[in-house]
Amino acid sequence: MGTAELGQNILAAMTALSDADKANRTKAMITMGDEIEDFFLTYITAYDVYD
């Protein structure tokens, strides 16, 4: 998964939020952070970074 896919995942997650959640900066940051965390966990497990 490249950074373009990461950007698309963040955009999709943010689009799925309700208007009230989009206005809530904490909820928005958590949503983006979850996508970034998933991206790096996929990278770590796919490439055995810690082996």
Q: In this predicted structure, what is the pLDDT of residue 42?
A: 86
Domain membership of residue 9 as a residue range = 3-47
The number of folded domains in the chain is 1
How would you label 16-40 residue by residue, b for 16+ Cβ within 10 Å and e otherwise? eeeeeeeeeeeeeeebeeebeeebe
Q: In this predicted structure, what is the pLDDT of residue 49?
A: 60
Q: What is the pTM of this model?
A: 0.70
Half-sphere exposure of 15 (CA within 13 A, CB side): 6
Distance (Å, rounded) from C-alpha 49 to C-alpha 26?
A: 31
Q: In this predicted structure, what is the pLDDT of residue 15?
A: 93
- The string of pLDDT tens digits covering residues 1-51 is 577 888 999 999 999 999 999 899 999 999 999 999 999 888 888 776 655
